[in-house]
């Protein structure tokens, strides 16, 4: 399975939908990521965005969003209920699949260094990425909020940033880190007395002697007192336990919970655990959920047909670029096949180590090319969305150029990866099992088709790129890849002809 990282940046803007949309668009336009959810709260004057994707894609999207927010949000004019220190207030990276926490820590530090250096924004690292134990807690970094940090950052060594300048500008500071999945959960009370919410928050949060893995504050939102919480480990302190403690504490003051609010997304298991507890389903098994069984049955039958149907559907995506990426992935898969058909055979014992290494490289290339199948469609979709912006929108021209560049870079990467697959096929054809030479030849042909198909997609996007120098540079890189790829194709076919007598 391909690696997957989630990112949930919080922005200090919840009252200007046009600004929020521009920030979200910068994420949408980044290849390799999927926008999952976003919501805004006018009282908090804050928006929370959730997206996920490949580590490289998520890293790029996070930087793009921070940059956009810095251009559009002025912290000197910002007011809101929620604590904040910057236009992009906090950016957590969360490992989801095929990624370790250490990988997300490295991502946080790379993005943090880039934001500090390129954007001139002070950056603090928190949670698993924190450079000091006391900075692991987000509340510590937000102490005094934007105004307090502005007055202390230059003079108090304890408030010196991990990256960037020791002073605050209009964009404030940004906190970046790595953490486990978090649930942002709010409970509203039947009162407008925010002091009651604050007392309850102090009672339930861990720092006040309450429940572990619970952070809470009391706020006034839409005329009602709110206990605003972050649940940092729902597996050890479940949602239903928090719900009941707030209910008991509220009753002390003659109040009740009127309703709950979820900000962003929640892991399915957190809801299942609460349902099991409230319904007293002690013997309940997660496999009894209808949708899970249906998903398992559907996944078992998934093959090439759904993708082929999508290609044939007459919609813009997936199109030729995605097909080229798939061809490259097939070429890499055949390279891995030939290598593995060689490993373990006495006749080829002297090249076994080489073929084991070749199989591993082929697997890595196949994973990247498979990921590019979706990335190409996302890149083209970003171009369409950029062109759909109103012509009077001042950001339209820049958005179009950025989208075109992204739509050219994805197939260029596909061509490069397919050429690397041809390198592996060259080795496999020269050293591999002679009985698999036809497979090596087919792999070489489809990898070359990937290069040619990707090349067409690169050029069609470069044709409208305003930066001629950049277009020429990318065109030159593409031509080098094509020449190398053609040479490797010829090498593979020559080896196949020589070793197996096949005219491929």
Q: What is the pLDDT of residue 378?
A: 83
Residue 479 has pLDDT above 90, yes or no: yes
Residue 305 has pLDDT above 80, yes or no: no
Q: What is the pLDDT of residue 69?
A: 97
- Produce one character per residue of 222-237: b if its CB has 16 or more CB atoms within 10 Å, e if not: eebbbbbbbbbebeeb
The catalytic position among 82, 117, 206, 445 is 82
Mean pLDDT of the chain: 93
Q: What is the pLDDT of residue 293?
A: 79
Per-residue confidence at 93, pLDDT binned at 50, 70, 90? very high
Per-residue confidence at 370, pLDDT binned at 50, 70, 90? confident
Q: Which two tokens stand for residue 452?
A: 């040619």
Q: Which two tokens stand for residue 135?
A: 């900075």
Percent of the chain with pLDDT over 70: 98
Closest CA to 38 of 69, 67, 59: 69
* Of residues 178 and 377, more confidently modeled: 178
Residue 457 has pLDDT above 90, yes or no: yes
Q: How do residues 187-216 score in pLDDT, each as one tens digit?
A: 999 999 999 999 999 999 999 999 999 999
Cβ atoms of 239 and 273 within 8 Å: the answer is yes
Residue 148 and residue 145: Cα distance in Å, rounded?
5
Q: Which residues contact 360 (CB under 8 A, 6 or more apart)?
A: none
Tell me the whole-structure pTM to 2 decimals. Answer: 0.57
Residue 382 has pLDDT above 90, yes or no: no
The DSSP bridge pattern shows strands 214-221 and 257-263 to be unpaired
Q: Work out the average pLDDT over 280-306.
A: 76
Residue 4 and residue 205: Cα distance in Å, rounded?
31
Residue 345 has pLDDT above 60, yes or no: yes
Q: Work out the average pLDDT over 389-418.
A: 93
Q: Is 395 exposed, middle or buried, given 0-12, 13-18 or 19+ CB atoms closer than 10 A?
A: middle
Per-residue confidence at 300, pLDDT binned at 50, 70, 90? low
Beta-ladder partners of 176: 91, 125
Q: What is the pLDDT of residue 97?
A: 86
Q: What is the pLDDT of residue 412?
A: 96
Q: How do residues 157-168 score in pLDDT, each as one tens digit?
A: 999 999 999 999
The yes-or-no answer on residue 117 being catalytic is no
Q: What is the pLDDT of residue 29?
A: 83
* Of residues 295 and 22, more confidently modeled: 22
Listing DSSP states for 298-333 in one string gives: HHHT--SHHHHHHHHTSSSSS-HHHHHHHHHHHHHH
- Produce one character per residue of 123-141: b if its CB has 16 or more CB atoms within 10 Å, e if not: bbbbbbbbeeeebbebeeb
Q: How do residues 19-54 score in pLDDT, each as one tens digit?
A: 999 999 999 888 778 899 999 999 999 999 999 998
Closest CA to 341 of 432, 431, 422: 432
Could you give all domains of the chain from N- to C-terminal order, each with its CATH number? 4-178 (3.30.990.10), 183-291 (3.30.70.670), 317-500 (1.20.120.680)
Q: What is the pLDDT of residue 316?
A: 84
DSSP 504: -
Per-residue confidence at 65, pLDDT binned at 50, 70, 90? very high
Per-residue confidence at 367, pLDDT binned at 50, 70, 90? confident
């Amino acid at each position: 399975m391909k690696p997957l990282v989630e990112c949930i940046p919080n922005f200090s803007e919840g009252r200007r939908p046009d600004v929020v949309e521009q920030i979200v668009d910068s994420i949408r336009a980044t290849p390799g990521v999927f926008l999952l959810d976003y919501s805004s709260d006018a009282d908090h004057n804050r928006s929370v965005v959730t997206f996920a994707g490949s580590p490289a894609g998520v890293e790029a999207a996070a930087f793009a969003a921070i940059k956009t927010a810095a251009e559009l949000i002025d912290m000197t004019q910002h007011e809101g209920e929620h604590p904040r220190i910057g236009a992009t207030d906090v950016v957590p990276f969360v490992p989801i699949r095929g990624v370790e926490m250490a990988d997300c820590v490295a991502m946080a530090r790379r993005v943090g260094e880039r934001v500090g250096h390129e954007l001139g924004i002070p950056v603090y690292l928190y949670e698993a990425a924190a450079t000091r134990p006391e900075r692991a807690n987000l509340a510590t970094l937000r102490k005094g909020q934007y105004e307090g940090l502005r007055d202390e950052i230059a003079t108090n060594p304890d408030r010196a940033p991990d990256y960037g300048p020791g002073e605050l500008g209009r964009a404030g500071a940004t906190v970046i880190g790595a953490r486990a999945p978090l649930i942002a959960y709010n409970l509203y009370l039947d009162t407008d007395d925010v002091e009651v919410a604050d007392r309850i928050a102090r009672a339930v949060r861990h720092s006040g002697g309450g429940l572990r893995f619970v952070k809470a504050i009391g706020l006034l939102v839409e005329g009602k007192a709110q206990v605003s919480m972050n649940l940092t480990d729902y597996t050890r302190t479940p949602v239903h336990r928090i719900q009941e403690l707030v209910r008991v504490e509220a009753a002390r003051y003659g109040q009740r919970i009127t309703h709950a609010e979820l900000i962003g997304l929640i892991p399915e298991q957190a809801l299942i655990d609460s349902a099991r507890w409230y319904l007293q389903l002690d013997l309940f098994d997660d496999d009894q959920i209808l949708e899970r069984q249906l998903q398992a049955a559907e996944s078992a039958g998934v093959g090439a047909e759904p993708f082929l149907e999508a290609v044939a559907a007459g919609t813009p995506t997936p199109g030729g670029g995605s097909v080229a990426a798939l061809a490259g992935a097939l070429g890499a898969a055949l390279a891995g096949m030939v290598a593995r058909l060689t490993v373990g055979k006495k006749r080829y014992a002297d090249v076994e180590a080489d073929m084991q290494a070749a199989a591993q490289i082929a697997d890595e290339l196949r994973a990247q090319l498979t990921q590019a199948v979706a990335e190409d469609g996302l890149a083209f979709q970003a171009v369409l969305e950029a062109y759909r912006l109103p012509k009077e929108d001042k950001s339209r021209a820049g958005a179009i150029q950025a989208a075109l560049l992204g739509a050219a870079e994805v197939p260029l990467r596909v061509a490069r990866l397919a050429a690397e697959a041809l390198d592996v096929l060259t080795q496999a054809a020269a050293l591999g099992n002679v009985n698999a030479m036809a497979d090596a030849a087919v792999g070489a042909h489809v990898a070359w088709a990937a290069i040619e198909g990707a090349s067409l997609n690169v050029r069609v996007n470069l044709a409208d790129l305003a930066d001629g120098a950049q277009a020429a540079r990318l065109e030159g890189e593409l031509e080098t890849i094509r020449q190398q790829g053609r040479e490797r194709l010829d090498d593979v076919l020559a080896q196949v002809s020589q070793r197996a007598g096949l005219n491929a």
